[in-house]
Structure 1
Amino acid sequence: MPSITFRRPPQVTLATLGPFIALILACAFFASQSERFLSAQNFSLILQQVMVVAVIAIGQTLVILTAGIDLSCGMVMALGSIVMTKMAASHDLSAPLAIACGIAVTVLFGLVNGLLVTKIALPPFIVTLGTMNIAFAITQLYSDAQTITDIPEGMTLLGGTFVLGQTAIVWGAVLMLALYLIVWFALRETAPGRHVYAVGNNPEATRLTGIATDRVLLGVYMLAGLFYGIAALLSVARTGAGDPNAGQTENLDAISAVVLGGTSLFGGRGMILGTLVGALIVGVFRNGLTLMGVSSVYQILVTGILVILAVATDQLSRQGVR
């Protein structure tokens, strides 16, 4: 019977420091181009701009660590935001109940994704491509393709700010950072967290050691759905509305954050805090280029180049290990 050793997730090394070094270099470059870049208020703005994608990217990281991928994350997030705002605006539910309904829907989509991947053995790419389109269609039909704005104040609390020094910090950004710390601890210090890495490294050997790999995968996809629901709430809190057209680029942005953060698309290797750094890299580039007056088209171009470089680096490092 094959044996497998459940090692702790990767420690901080020069390789894992790569995304952080890239972030520092990007900050140094944009600081030299704009005197406004290094202001505390601008960094607070960057956190606010990336918090939705960064929370989606937590769920995406968990899926990619198991050698899967979730293309539906952005549209599931959008559906969650529509459900929670519609429940509050049209059905007069209280903010907590409406939020719970929205998160329940996103977790349900995670359950469906997980069941199709584990029970029918469909490729995650195909499964989530299909559920992405289903979520988009339901979002448009349920909202009548209309933005929902008449929502209770309780749903926008995380969009509020508090003052630290002379800088306004968004509560949603604090929640985002707290979630990253919780998931970092869970992946590093708990047996279920180590099982996620094991499934990504070698699912067959993991199964033969007695671990229910299907249960691990199902749990990962449902947890991902939970994070998409939280991201939906952050999106509503930030914009003050449920937008049926949201989520159309967030899936690629989340995957970009995961890849730039050093998580391998082949599974079993990566650090959740690297994903946070990856999301910040994307946010810093877009913010810095905006301050420089660069067109948004070039911002997308730069992001695409960075993602290709990150994936190429991962592939070359795997070949080097062999």
Structure 2
Amino acid sequence: MNSFKDKLPPMGTLGPLIALVLACVFFASQSDRFLSTQNFSLILAQVMVVGVIAIGQTLIILTAGIDLSCGMVMALGGIVMTKFAVDYGLSTPVAMACGLAVTTLFGYLNGVLVTRIKLPPFIVTLGTLNIAFAITQLYSGSQTVTDIPAGMNWLGNTFSLGGATVSYGVVMMLGLYLFTWFALRETPAGRHVYAVGNSPEATRLTGIPTEKVLLGVYVLAGLCYGLAAMLGVARTGAGDPNAGQTENLDAITAVVLGGTSLFGGRGVILGTLVGALIVGVFRNGLTLMGVSSVYQILVTGILVILAVATDQLSRKGAR
């Protein structure tokens, strides 16, 4: 007979949710404003850009890779979208499609360098981070793009739900998480991503084209960065060349806190959403408490180290 403990979800899945609940309980005891519906709406709005970037980052980390370029590629996509609309007069859908194409192309470039030339993902994406940053600054002239078409702000518009104000961008983020969860769980392609992360050589010997799986993962990640760029432009109402400089670390933090192993092959995409919310809750709660942003960064760093240490210990225990 299975015990109650055996029926519980694995700690890698349950742990992040417990941490989120405990964080909410703590900050609720410190500030009366924390539990308001409007504050929770604000937290969701603050994490939606990083949350979508983290979807792509999760796919890559599941294959035992990492992408340091995600934030700057997202910023480049936002600049391309806004400048194509403002400077060249392209319609909103066409301008956004151009931005998505650029970020997807960067994902393809990362994937080719990793799969065909066999370069380490860390080195490849460190290089493309700097390339994307330079192109963004040169193309924008280091100037923010303003006066964008109203259509580019649509995802930043809000509607009322149970007394809370929710943006359409948040709905889009949640929909992307549900779609990715279903794809990873229920489709052969999703199972191949986990297989490559667990053992690329064993996966190759079963007949699965591991290089195509990896290339597809990097391309999809690039597409996610473009979607995040759309959300960033909608939220700020401008194309900011200085955006994306911390989003890469924030996205990796969300993935690790969500229980995805940096060694690949293990993780749940919905855990990444919980991880992003943990970061958002901590920053929001500490702000309500009047804590300096420096300490917020300190707490985030400690959380990442604890999450990685937990993952390492659990791997050793499983051997």
Look up the SS of the partner of 1:218 in the other structure: helix
Look up the SS of the partner of 2:197 in the other structure: helix
- CA distance, structure 2, for counterparts of residue 309 and residue 200 of structure 1: 22
Instruction: Determine whether 1:57 maps to 2:61.
Output: no
Q: Is the CA contact (8 Å cut-off) linking 2:259 and 2:267 kept in structure 1? A: yes
- The code of the aligned residue for 1:113 comes to N
- Name the counterpart of 1:313: 310
- CA distance, structure 2, for counterparts of residue 85 and residue 122 of structure 1: 33
Instruction: Determine whether 1:108 maps to 2:108.
Output: no
Displacement of 1:114: 0.2
Instruction: Determine whether 1:66 maps to 2:63.
Output: yes
- CA distance, structure 2, for counterparts of residue 212 and residue 42 of structure 1: 46
- Name the counterpart of 1:18: 15
- The code of the aligned residue for 1:50 comes to V
- CA distance, structure 2, for counterparts of residue 12 and residue 144 of structure 1: 51
- Name the counterpart of 1:183: 180
- CA distance, structure 1, for counterparts of residue 61 and residue 307 of structure 2: 15
Task: Please give the per-residue CA displacement for 1:288-319, whole angstroms capped at 9, x wherever unaligned.
Answer: 00000000000000000000000000001111
- CA distance, structure 2, for counterparts of residue 264 and residue 168 of structure 1: 34
- Name the counterpart of 1:231: 228
- The code of the aligned residue for 2:60 comes to V
Look up the SS of the partner of 2:266 in the other structure: coil
- CA distance, structure 1, for counterparts of residue 162 and residue 228 of structure 2: 27
Displacement of 1:12: 3.5
TM-score by length of 2: 0.97
- CA distance, structure 2, for counterparts of residue 15 and residue 132 of structure 1: 30
- Name the counterpart of 1:6: none
- Name the counterpart of 1:250: 247
Displacement of 1:13: 2.3
Instruction: Determine whether 1:167 maps to 2:164.
Output: yes
Instruction: Determine whether 1:289 maps to 2:286.
Output: yes
Aligned residue runs from structure 1 range 114-193, under 5 A: 114-193=111-190
Instruction: Determine whether 1:211 maps to 2:205.
Output: no
Look up the SS of the partner of 2:87 in the other structure: helix
Deviation above 4 Å: which 4+ runs of structure 1?
none
TM-score by length of 1: 0.96
Displacement of 1:150: 1.7
Displacement of 1:105: 0.1
- CA distance, structure 1, for counterparts of residue 77 and residue 63 of structure 2: 24
Q: Is the CA contact (8 Å cut-off) linking 2:12 and 2:267 kept in structure 1? A: no
Displacement of 1:15: 3.2
Which of 202, 209, 229 in structure 1 is aligned with 2:199? 202
Q: Percent identity?
A: 79
Displacement of 1:173: 0.4
Displacement of 1:166: 1.9
- CA distance, structure 1, for counterparts of residue 133 and residue 12 of structure 2: 38
Look up the SS of the partner of 2:306 in the other structure: helix
Aligned-residue RMSD, C-alpha: 0.7
Which of 274, 279, 285 in structure 1 is aligned with 2:276? 279
Moved more, 235-244 or 11-20: 11-20
Displacement of 1:321: 1.0
